[in-house]
Structure 1
Amino acid sequence: MGYSGPNRDEAVKFYRDVMEWTLTDLPMKDGSSVPGILVEDELIGGFSPEPADQGVWTVYITVIDVDGATDKARAAGARILSEPTDVPGVGRIAVINDPCGARIAMVTYESMQK
């Protein structure tokens, strides 16, 4: 049976099997965690397989400058769901809906910050 809903374990198995991703748990400020995607032991992104209203989920994309990317997204027609904010132990994150409605979290990890 394939992935059909918000079951985190099923989503992790699906992406490990289909994409052959190496995944790790990324701790969140609230004590929960989301799956992080590794390439050669380097964290490059993550995802939240718990669908929100209307069945969307959040993809985490690594960017060099969250604040700059948020400004560019806003200018290009994105709706800003969460302005750039610092998340201790993770980095700086902003969440947007792109002009087509996809939810994306842009992240600059602490290890990338100067």
Structure 2
Amino acid sequence: MSDNKTRHGMPSWIEHQSPQPAEALAFYQTVLGWEIATITMPDGGTYSCIQVDGQAIGGFAEGDGRWLPYLTVDDVDGRARQALEAGATLEKAPFTAPGVGRICTLRDPHGARIALITYADS
């Protein structure tokens, strides 16, 4: 597992959320030359992963038109509590994504969205 997925505080994933993820994916493939790998999720849905030099760095999902950075933390639940105490707003409570890890999303006190993640293999 790469260092950015094990070191606390490291950015480890980027997710583009768009009302039209297929069109967004095509745009970034054209502009940046990204390779895309489509994976099947545990619920049977699919997810388009961004790959650079064979390494997955992010993905595309349906959403409201934004980039969402994922930051590796040592304890999602504990860090979510600390973030709330420091003025963040919870958007999605900590949950376990099978085969991935534990994740939550929040807005910092200034309105920026971030996701906190502890990878299952870390």
TM range (shorter): 0.5 to 0.7
Q: Identify the residue that residue 63 of structure 1 maps to in structure 2.
A: 72
Which structure shows the bigger proportion of residues in helix conformation? 1
Q: Matched residues in 2 for 1:78 and 1:27: separation?
A: 32
Q: Identify the residue that residue 31 of structure 1 maps to in structure 2.
A: 44
Secondary structure of 1:18's aligned partner:
helix
Q: Deviations over 1:54-111 (max 9, x none)?
A: x454625141425154244323322112222211122211111233333333333323
After TM superposition, which residue ranges in structure 1, 4 or more long, deviate above 6 angstroms?
A: none
Aligned residue pairs: how many?
104
Q: Matched residues in 2 for 1:103 and 1:26: separation?
A: 25
Conserved? CA contact 2:73–2:116, under 8 Å: no
Q: Identify the residue that residue 43 of structure 1 maps to in structure 2.
A: 56
Equivalent of residue 17 in structure 1, options 30, 34, 37: 30
CA RMSD of superposed structures (Å): 2.9
Q: Which has the higher contact order (CA 8 A, sep 6+)?
A: 2
Secondary structure of 1:12's aligned partner:
helix
Secondary structure of 2:114's aligned partner:
strand
Q: Does 1:100 align with 2:110?
A: yes
Q: Matched residues in 1 for 2:85 and 2:34: separation?
A: 33
Secondary structure of 1:15's aligned partner:
helix
Aligned residue identity for 1:18: V
Q: 1:106 to 1:7 in 2, by over 3 A?
A: same
Aligned residue identity for 2:108: D
Q: Matched residues in 2 for 1:109 and 1:70: separation?
A: 15
Structure 2, unpaired ranges of 5+: 1-17
Identity of aligned pairs, percent? 38
